[in-house]
Amino acid sequence: MMSGVTTTDQRETTPSRTASVRGEIRREARIAGLHREPSLGAIKSRRVQLSLVAFGVVVALLLVTTFASGWGPDSDIVVSPTVLRIGLIALAIGFTIYAIEKELHLRKLARLLEDEFAINTALSQSLHQYSALVAASRVVNSVLELEDVLDVILENALDMLDGDRGSIMLLEGSDELRAVAVQGHEGAKGAVVKVGESISGQVARTREPLILFGAADENRFPGLHKRDSAPWSAMCVPLENRGELLGVLNVSRSEGGEYEEYDLQTLRLFGEPAAAAIANARLYESERAHVAELLEIDRMKSEFMASMGHELRTPLTSIRGAVAASRRPVLSDEERGHLLDVVDRQAQRLHYMVEEMLTSSKQRTPGVMPMMRPVDLAALVRLVALDSQVAGRPVAVEAPKSCEVRGDPESLRRIVGNLIENAFKYGALPVRLTIEQDGSQVLLSVLDAGPGVPPEEREKIFERYYRADRTDSRPGHGLGLPIVRGLVTACGGTVWVDEGPEGGAAFRVALPVRSEHDRAAEPAPPDVEEQAWAASRGS
């Protein structure tokens, strides 16, 4: 009967939450003669009272029944002892039944109160969980920067689950997890764990949430880091979006109670919008990078078109000049021959340029068509430094008076400009430019007093979109250095980064010096006058 009541209560209370329980409590309280809002304590003391009274009454009645035979004839009561006994026994039985019934009601009342308490607890817990989930979905909709998304997710998870430490580890490549957001043990940021190793690695491999009490066992989690074994109670859930593992979310606490299945379920539920938010932020980031790339390509195309238009003018000038000159009334056959050669050569040059342009557009690398020529790098660097100074970015130049290299002036200008921009964006003042000639090459260095570039990042920063410190919010599209590398390579040089004498970053560009071989291979300026002169004179 009791279990039947309980299930009925549960079925009724579930939809209307506490309302029906409340009504029943009031009814029972009235029957039990208690206040409308009874407490468990009041019920308990009422039950004690009731049992004491019942016990006292029954004992008294039994005593009276037992000793009633001793009553003398002087007694005023004229009742047969047998009748009296029966009456008293009946009274005792009746009172006992009454007391038992009261007791049953009081018990039911106590149970109802406990039910109500349970419902209230569950309600407040789910409210907590719900508000955290709402917060997470707000994150999905409002924050787009990946770093912010990660921070908000972690904060919400810790807040919701009373954790004091937590981390989000994201999958890098196929077999590594990196701690990208950390709270409570900041030193762990950037830590890398192999998939399958340690707690996070195991959750990433199995994609099953995990709950732990006390110190973690190294045998169960190979490769366990010491800091992971410290927390008293910890949970780790996989972050999955559309079946794809993005990483894991860790929450732990060193004081307070142990985490239970209920908490794990909450964290798991929370993981869903969190993973969606991370996926969205990544999508946004890649879209943004894509747009930056398109803008850059567009800019490069415009520049390329401008420089192409420009380059096309020179051969046209020669051709028109040659045609006009060949109309001279007095002209030797040899002179005419030279002029026809000019037309032929320049037409070939135009043809070559058109071919180059088509190739370049096929490669999707417009602008990378260096016009190699001797350039005074020292003069060029001073000019760029002057422009930079005017733009509010002072740069010190240490260079010889002149320093000739082979390269494309426009490319070189962009190389120097991009490196200066890079130094101001990621380094610190003062920024210095130095030029040293070293045998067959010239070394251009851009030095800053910033934190420098760690050895493991020194190749990566030349990759497209790579930004050394992913946490910083400074603007940048990650194309500056890749472009520098492309241009330097196109000019026949090399670019790399190492540590400067004062500890900051030192970007080095090695360019080939204009060699004697180059001078012989190309129509070099000093010979031109004689050549042209001889040609015009004939012989």
**Which residues in this chain contact another protein in the complex, by CB under 8 A?**
310-311, 313-326, 328-331, 335, 338-339, 342, 345-346, 373-376, 402, 404, 409, 523, 525-526, 528-529, 531-533, 535-536
Rounded CA gap, 32 and 29, in Å? Answer: 5
Q: Are 271 and 264 in contact (CB under 8 A)?
A: no
- C-alpha dihedral, 485 to 487 to 490 to 496, nearest 10°: -30
Nearest distance from C-beta of residue 530 to another protein, angstroms? 9
Nearest distance from C-beta of residue 512 to another protein, angstroms? 15
> Quick one: 401 or 474, whose CB is closer to another protein?
401
> Quick one: 102 or 338, whose CB is closer to another protein?
338
> Quick one: 293 or 311, whose CB is closer to another protein?
311
- C-alpha dihedral, 224 to 225 to 227 to 229, nearest 10°: 20
Specify the pairing of strand 431-438 against strand 395-398: parallel
Nearest distance from C-beta of residue 322 to another protein, angstroms? 4
Assess whether the previous peptide bond of 430 is cis (omega < 30° from 0).
Answer: yes
> Quick one: 324 or 354, whose CB is closer to another protein?
324
DSSP bridge pairs for 435: 444
Helix pair 2-16, 81-142: axis angle to 10 deg: 30
> Quick one: 8 or 314, whose CB is closer to another protein?
314
Q: Which residues contact residue 248 at a Cβ distance below 8 angstroms, ignoring those fewer than 6 apart?
A: 168, 169, 177, 200, 203, 204, 236, 237, 238, 239
Nearest distance from C-beta of residue 381 to another protein, angstroms? 14
Nearest distance from C-beta of residue 313 to another protein, angstroms? 4
Cα 214 to the center of its chain, rounded Å: 29
Rounded CA gap, 24 and 299, in Å? Answer: 76
Rounded CA gap, 291 and 465, in Å? Answer: 12
Show the DSSP H helices in 327-376 as ranges: 333-362
Rounded CA gap, 346 and 314, in Å? Answer: 9
Nearest distance from C-beta of residue 415 to another protein, angstroms? 17
Nearest distance from C-beta of residue 299 to another protein, angstroms? 17
Rounded CA gap, 225 and 186, in Å? Answer: 15
Nearest distance from C-beta of residue 135 to another protein, angstroms? 55
Tokens of 46: 């009422």
Q: Are 166 and 184 in contact (CB under 8 A)?
A: yes
> Quick one: 57 or 513, whose CB is closer to another protein?
513
Nearest distance from C-beta of residue 527 to another protein, angstroms? 8
Closest CA to 304 of 346, 267, 357: 357
CA distances from 166 to 57, 158, 175, 236, 324 (A): 64, 7, 21, 9, 81
Nearest distance from C-beta of residue 335 to another protein, angstroms? 6
DSSP bridge pairs for 237: 249
SS3 assignment, position 194: strand
List phi, psi (to 5°) of 231: -60, 150
DSSP bridge pairs for 375: 405
Q: Are 278 and 241 in contact (CB under 8 A)?
A: yes
> Quick one: 158 or 339, whose CB is closer to another protein?
339
Cα 257 to the center of its chain, rounded Å: 30
> Quick one: 220 or 310, whose CB is closer to another protein?
310
Nearest distance from C-beta of residue 492 to another protein, angstroms? 16
> Quick one: 201 or 315, whose CB is closer to another protein?
315
Nearest distance from C-beta of residue 340 to another protein, angstroms? 11
> Quick one: 292 or 357, whose CB is closer to another protein?
357
Tokens of 195: 């998939």
> Quick one: 251 or 375, whose CB is closer to another protein?
375
> Quick one: 303 or 376, whose CB is closer to another protein?
376
Q: Are 404 and 514 in contact (CB under 8 A)?
A: yes
